[in-house]
Amino acid sequence: MTADDLFDLTIIGAGPTGLFAAYYAGFRGLRTKLIDSQPDLGGQVTALYPDKFIYDVAGFPKILGKDLVRNLVDQAMQYHPAVHLDENVQAMNRQDGAITLRTDAGEHRTKVVLISAGIGAFTPKTYKRPELDQWIGKGLAFAVRSKEDYRGKRLLVVGGGDSALDWALGLVDYAKSITLIHRRDGFRAHEDSVKKLFASPINVKLFYELRALRGDDRVREAVIYNNKTQQEDIVEIDAVLAFLGLVSNLGPIREWGLAIQDDSIVVSTKMETNLPGIYAAGDIAIYPGKLKLIATGFGEAATAVNNAMTFINPNASAFPGHSSSIMEQKEKAAAKAH
Ligand SMILES: Cc1cc2nc3c(=O)[nH]c(=O)nc-3n(C[C@H](O)[C@H](O)[C@H](O)COP(=O)(O)OP(=O)(O)OC[C@H]3O[C@@H](n4cnc5c(N)ncnc54)[C@H](O)[C@@H]3O)c2cc1C
């Protein structure tokens, strides 16, 4: 391992918080690395709702999840951070004055760590029933990657939470037909979405559950049953979207000696954890009055990185200056040099 392997800041988790932190780290001139266990950048937004509009990001009356992530990536990549995807950080140790992070793919050395690991490494819940899960990739999915995948399809949506209702409603203009089954008559979704569901062309079947899927190389029909009467119905379909919840796991992060409360890392107003040189921000960080929102994650990312700057260089100021003035000065200096 050479000195080149030692980064200033390593960010665990490349969701909205980690991506904005990478921008700030680059702006402060820190040599930065981003590590994420997912195959793509963008955290929950990319994995769970890339095609949904978000209405509460400052400066955007509404923005599609995937567009917000693209903008965050463009902003962060100006400074060329090293990016390691599909790597789950499993261990954190201190060695020779540096911090070593061990992932399933190797080791990373860094002066400072920012943990922006959201709800931990997460995956949508599957059925855990081989006779159903065998249809994954053949029409059965647990998250939407692109609405286009459902254009002209006869779709069965399973679930009664926000994800199920939002996606069923969001796909009305794409799918040929949609049937939504839910095992109860109460929904865990926004009241307004429930009203919209019943006013929509979606065929809603309450007290229904999925019993079996049938087909050939793709799913062609679903056997659903009424859990009160046991009556079975066959629905002809091309695709099934089952929203059964998420399995999220702080996993190894619990073992790193961090102060944990309610599955989150306790931080100070500077986003410091109880361990020197380790900061946390975004959904994973907790303090009195915490709100788990993209907007708060952005502010925490800026606070964490700029305070981390003073940990790396005690002579540096935590205040980064105003980007508007600093970039203008840099551009003028570059023009003069030519
Ligand atoms: C359906 C849905 C709709 C939402 N709508 C809104 C909304 O309208 N407005 C709003 O403000 N918020 C919304 N949210 C919440 C918002 O998405 C989160 O607050 C936000 O994603 C948190 O960002 P983050 O970067 O802190 O964490 P995340 O987005 O969770 O990203 C964390 C990343 O860390 C990675 N990671 C975790 N552990 C490890 C590890 N050990 N090693 C490597 N990588 C790791 C994960 O893979 C993940 O990619 C919504 C959430 C959902 C599920």
The domain that contains 66 carries what CATH number? 3.50.50.60
Choose which residue among 10, 294, 298, 305 to substitute to test ligand 1 binding: the one with the highest number of ligand atoms within 8 A of its C-beta: 294
Q: How many angstroms separate the alpha carbon of residue 15 from the centre of ligand 1?
A: 6
Mean pLDDT throughout 88-109?
Answer: 93
Q: Model pTM? A: 0.79
Q: What are the residues whose beta carbons fall under 8 Å from the beta carbon of 70, sequence distance 6 or more?
A: none
**Is there a single domain that holds both residue 207 and residue 311?**
no
Q: Is 48 in the pocket of ligand 1 (CB under 6 A)?
A: yes
The reported pLDDT for the residue numbered 3 is 45
The percentage of the chain sitting over the pLDDT mark of 70, rounded to a whole number, equals 99
DSSP state of 42: S
Q: How far is it, in rounded angstroms, from Cα 44 to Cα 50?
A: 9
Instruction: Examine the pLDDT at 2 and tell me if it is beyond 70.
Output: no
Point out the domain boundary residue: 209, 244, 279: 244
Atom 6 (ligand 1): residue with closest C-alpha?
Answer: 54
Kindly report, residue by residue over 155-166, the tens digit of the pLDDT.
999 999 988 998
Which residue, 13, 22, 278, is CA-closest to 121? 13
Q: How many angstroms separate the alpha carbon of residue 289 from the centre of ligand 1?
A: 19
4 confidence band (pLDDT: 50, 70, 90):
low
The reported pLDDT for the residue numbered 202 is 98
226 confidence band (pLDDT: 50, 70, 90):
very high
**Is there a single domain that holds both residue 230 and residue 252?**
no
**Is there a single domain that holds both residue 136 and residue 280?**
no
Instruction: Examine the pLDDT at 228 and tell me if it is beyond 50.
Output: yes
The reported pLDDT for the residue numbered 47 is 83
Question: DSSP E strands: which ranges in 119-259?
Answer: 121-124, 140-141, 154-158, 177-182, 203-206, 208-215, 219-226, 232-236, 239-242, 246-249
Amino acid letter for position 9: L
Kindly report, residue by residue over 194-222, the tens digit of the pLDDT.
999 999 999 999 999 999 999 999 999 99
Integer angstrom CA distances of residue 69 from 77, 135, 163, 209, 264:
12, 30, 19, 35, 24
Region of 230 (left: φ > 0; alpha: ψ -120 to 50; beta: rest) is left
Q: What are the residues whose beta carbons fall under 8 Å from the beta carbon of 100, sequence distance 6 or more?
A: 92, 93, 94, 107, 108, 109, 110
Q: Which atom of ligand 1 is nearest to the CA of 38?
A: 47
Look at the chain and count its residues.
338
Point out the domain boundary residue: 219, 244, 269: 244
Q: Which atom of ligand 1 is nearest to the CA of 283?
A: 26
In the chain, the number of structural domains is: 2
**Is there a single domain that holds both residue 130 and residue 232?**
yes
Per-chain mean pLDDT for the chain: 94
Kindly report, residue by residue over 261-310, the tens digit of the pLDDT.
999 999 999 999 999 999 999 999 999 999 999 999 999 999 999 999 99
Q: Which atom of ligand 1 is nearest to the CA of 90?
A: 41
Q: Is 294 in the pocket of ligand 1 (CB under 6 A)?
A: yes
Q: How far is it, in rounded angstroms, from Cα 117 to Cα 102?
A: 15
Q: How many angstroms separate the alpha carbon of residue 153 from the centre of ligand 1?
A: 29
Q: Is 104 in the pocket of ligand 1 (CB under 6 A)?
A: no
**Is there a single domain that holds both residue 196 and residue 145?**
yes
Q: Is 43 in the pocket of ligand 1 (CB under 6 A)?
A: yes
The reported pLDDT for the residue numbered 327 is 83
Instruction: Examine the pLDDT at 121 and tell me if it is beyond 90.
Output: no
The residue segments making up the domain with residue 131 are 126-244
DSSP state of 37: S
Q: Is 246 in the pocket of ligand 1 (CB under 6 A)?
A: no
Amino acid letter for position 28: R
Q: Is 116 in the pocket of ligand 1 (CB under 6 A)?
A: yes
Residue 296: phi and psi, rounded to 5, are -70, -35
Q: Is 265 in the pocket of ligand 1 (CB under 6 A)?
A: no
Q: How far is it, in rounded angstroms, from Cα 80 to Cα 57?
A: 25
Q: Which is it for strands 107-115 and 98-103: parallel, antiparallel or unpaired?
A: antiparallel
Q: How far is it, in rounded angstroms, from Cα 204 to Cα 208?
A: 9
**Is there a single domain that holds both residue 95 and residue 155?**
no
Point out the domain boundary residue: 208, 223, 244: 244
**Is there a single domain that holds both residue 275 and residue 218?**
no
The reported pLDDT for the residue numbered 84 is 97
Q: Could you tell me if 65 and 119 are in contact, meaning their C-beta atoms sit under 8 angstroms apart? A: no
The reported pLDDT for the residue numbered 309 is 97
From the CA atom positions of the chain, what is the Rg in Å? 23
Q: How far is it, in rounded angstroms, from Cα 135 to Cα 205?
A: 22
Q: Is 165 in the pocket of ligand 1 (CB under 6 A)?
A: no
**Is there a single domain that holds both residue 92 and residue 44?**
yes
Q: Is 56 in the pocket of ligand 1 (CB under 6 A)?
A: yes
Taking the CA atoms of residue 314, residue 316, residue 320 and residue 325 in that order, the dihedral angle to the nearest 10 degrees is 180
Q: How many CB atoms lie under 10 A from the CB of residue 40?
A: 16
**Is there a single domain that holds both residue 158 and residue 104?**
no
**Is there a single domain that holds both residue 109 and residue 34?**
yes
Q: Could you tell me if 187 and 207 are in contact, meaning their C-beta atoms sit under 8 angstroms apart? A: no
Mean pLDDT throughout 182-197?
Answer: 92
Q: How many angstroms separate the alpha carbon of residue 76 from the centre of ligand 1?
A: 17
**Is there a single domain that holds both residue 217 and residue 156?**
yes
**Is there a single domain that holds both residue 113 and residue 253?**
yes
